[in-house]
Amino acid sequence: MTQTRLAIDVGGTFTDVFVFDEQTGKVFVTKTSSTPSNPERGILDGIEKAQLNGQDIKIFSHGTTVGTNALIERKLPKTALITTKGFRDVPEIRRGTKLDIWDMYQDTSKPYIPRRDRFEVTERMDYDGNVLTEIDEEEVRQLARKLDKRGTESIAVCFINAYVNGANEARVKEIIQEELPNVYICTSSEVLPEIFEHERMSTTIINAVLGPIISKYIHNLEGEMEKKGYEGDILVLHSGGGVMTSSTVPRYAARLASSGIAAGAIASKHIAKLCGFNHAIGLDMGGTSTDISLMYDGDIRITKDWYIEYGYPIGFPSIEILTIGAGGGSLAWVDEGGSLRNGPQSAGAVPGPACYQRGGTEATNSDANLVLGRLGVDLLDGTMKLDKEKARQAVEKIAKEFNYTVEEAANAIIQVANANMCDALRLISVRRGYDPRDFALVAFGGAGPLHGAQLAKDMDIPTIIVPPHPGVAAAMGCLLVDVRHDISKTYVKNIHHVSLEELENEFSGMEQEAEKLLEEEGVGSDQSTLMRYVDMRYKGQWRSLAIPVSDKLQSLDSVLEAFHQEHQREFAFSDDKQLVEIYGLRVTVIGTVPKPEFPKYGPAGTLESALKEVRDVYFDGKFVPANVYNREDIPVLSEIQGPAIIDQLDTTTVIPPGFTAKVDVYRNLIISVNK
C-alpha cells in the first residue's frame, strides 16, 4: 500500500519538491528548474528526481504560479465580456484610483479584456432583484455567432444587480452554451454574487481569462500523472489557504492567482503551532522578494482586498500576504539624494549577484552577506561556489560613495534591507493592532534564516523559529491544507431589523451549496466542517469586519458585542451607540484531508561532530570568530550560543552574539535573545 505524500511548489524559477514517507517518517527534498512554457514538465522532472512513480504516491498536492504568471505576462486567451447596456466601460473606469496618487505620469495597467471585446445586451434587474427587462434571446444568439467568428475562447458575463438575482445571467449562459459548446463561460452570479460592480466584474473577468489556461494545465497534468500510474486526486492550493480537486479548479480559476504564495503562510502556521505558538509572523525571504503573513490565535489573517495588478481586484478570500522587493538578489544603489537604497530591483537568477559569477557586477544582499562572512563560499552542499573577491568588488562601488570600508558598506547594505523588512513587519502587525512582542517569527525561504534573528531583535520579537527545511517550506505547506470553499452573499440590513429565521434560511441555503461542492470533490459530510461569518460595519462605513457566528443563531447580541471588540482591536475605535448593519454573509466549508504526522527525534551524536570550521564573521562593527555547523549533524536538544553559523543544503542560518539556538524534537531551530 502506498504511503508516500508528495508536495510540489511550482515557482517562477525553481520547482520545490517535498516528499514524506509515512512508514519511515523520512523526508526527501529537492529542487528542479521550472518550465514556464510547459509548467507540468517541471513537476514531472521533480517527481523523476525524487525517483517516484504514480503507484508510490498516496496524496499529491501542489501550488502553482501558472495563473499568476499568465496575468503578469498577459499571455491570455481571447476573451469577451457581455454586460448590461451602458456598463461596457466599468473595467476601464475602475475606481479611478492610482497606486501612487502623487505620480501624475503613472498609468494603471490596461484591462484584461480590451474595449473591442466588451459587448452590451439589453437586460435590466433592479436593486431588489426584480426583473425589469427580460433577455432578448435573439440578440444574444446573434452576439454568440459574432463571437464565434472572432475566435473567442472564453466569455465573462456580468450584469448590473446580478448579485441579487442571477436569472438573466444564467439564461445568457444557457444560450451561449447552445451556440458555442466549446467556449469557457462564467457568470458573476456564480463566481462572486456580491455588491460593488467593479470588484464583481473584475473578479469574473479574471476568472474568465484564466479559465481556459488552468483547464488546459490541469488536463495535461492529469494525463501525465495517469501515465505514471497515479490514480488519486490532484489537489491544487488556492488563495484562501485550502485546496481544490482538479474537477473544481477550472470553475474557480481566479482563486489560483496566488496559489504558490499562500503555501508559505500555511507552512508558517503549522511550524509555529508545532512549536507551541498561537501567534506567529511568517517571513518567507527568497531571491527576489519577501512574503510576510500573520497568524493570530491559530488563524491566518484573510483579506478580500488583493490583486495581481493594481486596479483589478480579485474578490475571493485570500490569505493576507504582504510582499516587498527584498531578497538575496536585491540590488543596493544610491538615489539622487545620495541615500543608500536596497531593492526592489533585483539581479534575479541571471546575471544574479556578483558572487554567483554569472555576469552580475552590482552589489546585492548576498554579496554583502558573503563579504561579512555570514555566507560561506560553498552553497548547496558544495555544488555551487561563490566568488568572495567579486562580491568585494561589487560592494566596493557602494563603499566609495560614502567613504566607507568594504565591510562598513556591506553592513550598511544589510541594515537598509533589514529596515525595509521591518517596515513591512510593522505594516502587517502594529498597523493592524497587533503587538510584535506577542509573536514568534518563523523565518524560512532561501534567505529568511540569514536575516531572521536581527529582524526579530529590531522588532522586539522574542523568538525565531527556523524549520528543518526552510528553502522548501512552501512546498511542505501544500501537504498541510484541507479542501476549502468560501461561499459569500451580499446581505445589507440594519442589525436591529434582521429576522433570525430569515438569516438562518440564508445560511442554510449557502451551506447546501458548499456541501454540494464538497460532494462533487468526493468529500463526505463526516469529513467536513462548516463555519459561518457575518460581515458587519458601522452604518455609513465602507469597510466591514467578518465576525464568526454559531451554527444555530439564538440572538445577535453576542455577535454585536464581538463586532465592537474586533473594531476596537483593528481600528483602535468602537462606539456601541452607533448603528451597525450587516453587509454580507459567508460560509466556509472545510473537507478534512489527512495530514502527515512528522516524527519526533531523539538525541544522537554530538555537537562537536557537527562543527565544520571556525570563521570570522562581522557583527557590531568588527569580525569575531564564529562556529560554523552542519545542520544535519546537529543533535536534537542541542544548544548553540551565538555567534554561530548553521549551514544546510537550502539555506544558511545566522545566530548573532547574544542569541541562543536550541534544536527541538522536530529538528526546528528555536532562537531567542539571551536575557
Q: Is residue 512 a contact partner of residue 525, using CB atoms and an 8 Å limit? A: no
CA 313 to mean position of chain CA atoms: 15
Q: Kind of pairing, strands 659-663 and 639-641?
A: antiparallel
pTM over 0.95: no
- Percent of the chain at pLDDT exceeding 70: 97
- 328, 543, 294: which is closest to 414 by C-alpha? 328
Ranges assigned E (strand) in 127-219 = 131-133, 154-158, 184-187
Compute the average pLDDT of residues 75-92.
94
Q: Kind of pairing, strands 124-125 and 131-133?
A: antiparallel
- Per residue in 209-251, pLDDT (tens digit) is 999 999 998 888 988 888 888 888 888 888 888 788 887 888 8
Please give the angle made by the CA atoms of 294, 297 and 302, to the nearest 5 degrees.
45
Residue 3: the pLDDT is: 77
**Residue 420: helix, strand or coil by DSSP?**
helix
Residue 278: the pLDDT is: 94
- Per residue in 299-313, pLDDT (tens digit) is 888 888 788 888 899
Residue 276: the pLDDT is: 93
**Residue 257: helix, strand or coil by DSSP?**
helix
Q: Is residue 511 a contact partner of residue 529, using CB atoms and an 8 Å limit? A: no
- Per residue in 355-385, pLDDT (tens digit) is 988 888 999 999 999 999 999 887 766 667 8
Q: Which three cell numbers stand for residue 6?
A: 508528495
Ranges assigned E (strand) in 557-634 = 580-591, 611-619, 622-630
- With cell 539571551, the residue in question is 674
Gap between the terminal Cα atoms of the chain: 51
Of the pLDDT bands very low, low, confident and very high (cuts 50, 70, 90), residue 1 is very low
Compute the average pLDDT of residues 43-50.
86
Residue 522: the pLDDT is: 66
Compute the average pLDDT of residues 423-432.
90
Q: Is residue 286 a contact partner of residue 454, using CB atoms and an 8 Å limit? A: no
Sign of CA dihedral 461, 465, 470, 474: negative
**Residue 634: helix, strand or coil by DSSP?**
coil
- Per residue in 319-332, pLDDT (tens digit) is 888 888 888 888 99
**Residue 352: helix, strand or coil by DSSP?**
coil
Average pLDDT score, the chain = 88
Distant-in-sequence, close-in-space partners of 550: CB < 8 Å, separation ≥ 6: 532
- 229, 184, 221: which is closest to 205 by C-alpha? 184
Residue 13: the pLDDT is: 63
Higher-confidence residue: 18 or 3?
Answer: 18
Strand partners, 83: 120, 158
Q: Is residue 252 a contact partner of residue 244, using CB atoms and an 8 Å limit? A: yes
Min mean pLDDT across 23-37, 226-240, 530-544 is at 23-37
Q: Which three cell numbers stand for residue 621?
A: 562593527
Distance CA 376, CA 391 (A): 12
- Percent of the chain at pLDDT exceeding 90: 45
DSSP annotation of 364 reads: B
- Per residue in 588-633, pLDDT (tens digit) is 888 777 777 778 888 888 899 999 999 999 999 999 999 999 998 9
> Does residue 287 surpass a pLDDT of 80?
no
Min mean pLDDT across 10-24, 266-280, 441-455, 605-619 is at 10-24
Asked whether the bond before 313 is cis by omega within 30 degrees of 0, the reply is no
> Does residue 135 surpass a pLDDT of 90?
yes
509's enclosing H/E stretch is helix 500-520
Q: Is residue 409 a contact partner of residue 398, using CB atoms and an 8 Å limit? A: yes
Length of the chain: 675
Q: Supply the DSSP string of 129-153, one letter for each residue.
A: S-EEE---HHHHHHHHHHHHHTT--
> Does residue 439 surpass a pLDDT of 80?
yes
Distance CA 169, CA 160 (A): 10
Distance CA 243, CA 248 (A): 10
Residue 383: the pLDDT is: 64
Q: Which three cell numbers stand for residue 241?
A: 489557504
Distance CA 244, CA 250 (A): 10
Longest dimension (CA), the chain: 82
- With cell 506577542, the residue in question is 438
Please give the angle made by the CA atoms of 317, 216 and 309, to the nearest 5 degrees.
40
